[in-house]
Amino acid sequence: MLHPQSRRTRTLRTATALGAVSLGLLALSACEKPTPRATATVGSSTISTEASCYRDGKTIPQKEARKCLSEKTDKTISVGSGDKLRIGVEPDMAEKGWLVFVNGRPLLPDPMKKTYYSFPGEVFFQQQGAQGQMTTKKSTQISIVEADGGDFKGVWHIKLKNDDD
């Protein structure tokens, strides 16, 4: 037969253990799941970023998506005109399709379905002036957009600095 004092101690230990487990589970459920990442690589330099707009794979309303495309970032990588910029996305993003926007405009007309794509560095910094002359920008921002059909699922931003300037 157990002594009443040891029974109370055992009950107290059990209650404490259950409370600790409950608090641990509560803390885990409160943690945000990290967003998928997009990565840009030039030579041996790499930068990776989490989404600035993401709803865990759900569609982002059009108004919010437009606002998100105009957000600025401090994630920067240098690109020279002779360099290749490699953009990589996670396999789930590639499966749905993804687009690259340069200063809010799509670089290619159709979504890509590969996990990475290479672009020549010079395509990001050339712009046509008002008189038709070509000018070179010092920097530009790209947005990687996960798109499923016409729906935006996530937006990632990376600033490109012109290494030739």
Do 73 and 107 lie in one domain? The reply is yes
Do 19 and 61 lie in one domain? The reply is no
pTM of model > 0.85: no
Do 66 and 19 lie in one domain? The reply is no
Do 42 and 73 lie in one domain? The reply is yes
The per-residue pLDDT for 29 is 45
The per-residue pLDDT for 35 is 83
Do 58 and 137 lie in one domain? The reply is yes
Q: How does pLDDT run along the chain (165 residues), one tens digit per residue?
A: 555 556 666 665 665 555 555 555 544 444 567 789 999 999 999 999 999 999 988 999 999 999 999 999 999 999 998 999 999 999 999 999 999 999 888 999 999 999 999 999 989 998 777 788 888 889 999 999 999 988 999 999 999 999 987
Do 90 and 117 lie in one domain? The reply is yes
Do residues 48 and 89 make contact, with C-beta atoms less than 8 angstroms apart? no
The per-residue pLDDT for 89 is 98
Do 79 and 99 lie in one domain? The reply is yes
Do 67 and 109 lie in one domain? The reply is yes
Split into its structural domains, the chain has a count of: 2
Do 106 and 49 lie in one domain? The reply is yes
Do 51 and 117 lie in one domain? The reply is yes
Do 23 and 4 lie in one domain? The reply is yes
The per-residue pLDDT for 57 is 86
CATH number of residue 97's parent domain: 2.60.40.10
The per-residue pLDDT for 2 is 54
Amino acid at 54: Y
Which domain range does residue 20 map to? 1-31
